[in-house]
Homo-oligomer: A and B are copies of this chain.
Amino acid sequence: MHSTTKLLRFDESRATSGITDIYASPCMACSARKACVSNLFSAQESLQFEQLVVGRRRVARHASLYHEHDRFEMLYAVRYGQFKLLSRDANGSQRVAQFCMPGDLVGLDAIATGRHNFRLMALENSEVCEIPFAGVTKMMASEPAIQRRFLQSMSLALNDQYGRSSLLSLASLDERFASFLLQMGERYSRLGYSEKSFRLSMTRGDIGSYLGTTVESVSRLVSRFNAQGAVSITGRTVDLIDRDHLLSILSSEDPPFQAASNNLSGSRH
């Protein structure tokens, strides 16, 4: 089914000598380390965790790591590259539910049903770590640190979605797009890259889908934000010139004094 993905054994390159070698620990050498579940483990815990990772898988640009209704067996941690999580709505058209960056733990939504609810498609050539869920539950029982970290990751994923809901229910397009740009910057910075200059790997259509709007509107937003000097976006190259201006877009929209206590008069536009 996933003919475009390739399996790599995780241990292939691991040193088996008794000599302590930082590069014997794949997680320590991984560029996604700082954003990954495996972060903040002690050397001891890290070794435990690495036993969970049974392999890696390369996914070519535009190939899918899994599809909706596929049986759920693995969680995946993105090593490099980027993905989009696609949901199918009542009609049958696809929507981008999320963008996945290195360090992200993917597949948590499938725990409930045992089947994947989304399709995970690579936006560029990517690689993930394969983490069998059965192993995770077993190790969560014996290793408190690993239990804590997985629960944290799930809670974090939940918060991400709360954030997205709130963004979508709340914001004008300007707010949504500003928020999107800032969020991408923040995610890059967490990986150790610049938070102001980065390259998007998704199309305008993907962005529109994610933000609940259309290609045309995204294109207009780009043009307008460029013209206002808040950003410099050419093609997929992004420069956040005036972050404060972007931030001010978020908290703009008539903040008179303080809203009444039980009053839900959140205004749009």
Contact = CB atoms under 8 A, between A and B. Distances in A.
Interface string A201-245: 000011011111010000000000000000000000000000000
Interface stretch (A15-23, A34-42, A251-259): A251-259
Contacts of A141: 140-142, 144, 147
Interface residues of A, number: 63
Contact of A148 (B97, B137, B266): B137
Contacts of A175: 90
B157 A259 contact: no
A264 B206 contact: yes
Contact of A262 (B62, B158, B267): B62
A131 B165 CA distance: 27
Contacts of A214: 268
B266 A109 contact: no
> Which of A140, A147, A165 lies at the interface centre, i.e. has the most chain B CB atoms within 10 A of its CB?
A165
B95 A264 contact: yes
Contacts of A109: 155, 158-159, 162
Interface in A75-116: 87, 89-97, 108-113
A124 to B, nearest CB: 14
B158 A108 contact: yes
A33 B265 CA distance: 36
A116 to B, nearest CB: 11
Given A91-B251, A96-B264, A97-B166, 9 more contacts: A91-B253, A97-B165, A108-B155, A108-B158, A157-B158, A161-B162, A205-B265, A206-B264, A209-B266
